[in-house]
Amino acid sequence: MKKKVGFGVIGTGFWGKNHARVLSELKETNLIAVCDTDADKAQSIAKRYNVNWYTRNDDLLKREDIEAVCICTPTTTHSKIALKTIEYGKHLLIEKPMANTAVQAKKIIEEIRKNQLYLMVGFIERFNPGLMRVKKLIESGVLGEIVLAFSRRVGKWPERIGDMGVVKDSAIHDLDIMRFLFEEDPLSVYARAGSLHHQYEDYAQIVLSFSGIKTAFVEANWFTPHKVRIMTLTGSKAIVNVDYITQEITIEDIDKAVKPKREWDEPLKLELEHFANCVSNDKCPEVSGLDGLRALQISEAALISAKTGKVIQLLYDDTFVDE
């Protein structure tokens, strides 16, 4: 039996608590310690899972029994903590967005490569069983040629978010999903966005143009009364709807609508399990640093489009990328 991967979690807020819980449950992982600048939060989580706790990142990072670290802090701190984690030679999972800016994301990727470590970005929907079924339908040809993807990610403002708007916090999931499903980068982006109740933008409608006839439309806001996480994918032969919350999919063609049986599974569990196996087996994670960078580049272009009212042509300056 392979040795469990020793993990540390930096940040014990909403997502950090969930990371700690899952890492304590998986057979592939061993939660060693947690860290938070708030001693009460750190101590509370550490006591729950019988692990060590710290208020200084260096104290956690210097532990030799920790091989991998999950960064679950506010986005504005991601870059600094990630670079420090890399200095200590730890593999790294960063919650999305991987950095505050694309420039910071590039720096993280450069340092990861120099130090020959693994980096994964926490795009949790990639591990949603509903989306995985949709991906298989596309690959099987059941839907025919894909024409349009439409997603809604709306709900009340999550009070834990105070350092960014709805584009980089919420819509970024769907920007990544569109790249994942279409297996290519969008060529241009047009967006409308603004702020009605919050410091940063709290609503956005984003249109992505891909090669050929493929288009994607992403809607996100923080004032719809009920949480909605859905996508509709239109193909030349059939349409598929997916609900990310229930993980149900419905396939519709000219003759019938079918809702296949499904088994629910926790995406975070699947995500962390995958990352731990990558570290153990010396394999690159399915969601790379480049994926995180691309999503940030598209998000930033969308915000420029919303500000200027113009379609933004997407030019990806990745001179360091050798893939």
> What's the burial of 253, exposed, middle or buried (CB within 10 Å: 0-12/13-18/19+)?
middle
Label residue 317 by pLDDT band (50, 70, 90).
Answer: confident
Residue 323 covered by a domain: no
Q: Coil, strand or helix: which one is 37?
A: coil
Return the CATH number at 157. 3.30.360.10
- Would residue 208 count as lying in a domain? yes
Average pLDDT of 142-164? 89
Please state, in angstroms and as integers, the Cα–Cα distance from residue 224 to each residue in 164, 229, 230, following that order: 18, 12, 14
Number of domains in the chain: 2
Distances 215 to 35, 85, 179, 222 between C-alpha atoms, Å = 42, 38, 11, 24
Q: Domain of 16? A: 5-124+269-287
| CATH code (residue 42) | 3.40.50.720
Residue 31, domain member (yes or no): yes
Whole-number Å distance between alpha carbons of 69 and 72? 10
Is residue 323 predicted with pLDDT exceeding 50? Answer: no
Residues 164, 248, single domain; the answer is: yes
Pair 104, 126: CB distance under 8 Å: no
* Per-residue pLDDT, 23: 98
Q: Confirm whether 320 is domain-assigned.
A: no
Asked if 95 and 146 sit in the same domain, the reply is: no
Question: Are residues 152 and 43 part of one domain?
Answer: no
- Do 216 and 257 fall into the same domain? yes
**Do 159 and 305 have their domain in common?**
yes
Same domain for 110 and 172?
no
Do 144 and 101 fall within a single domain? Answer: no
Please provide the average confidence, as pLDDT, over all residues in the chain.
95
> According to the model, what pLDDT value does residue 319 have?
60
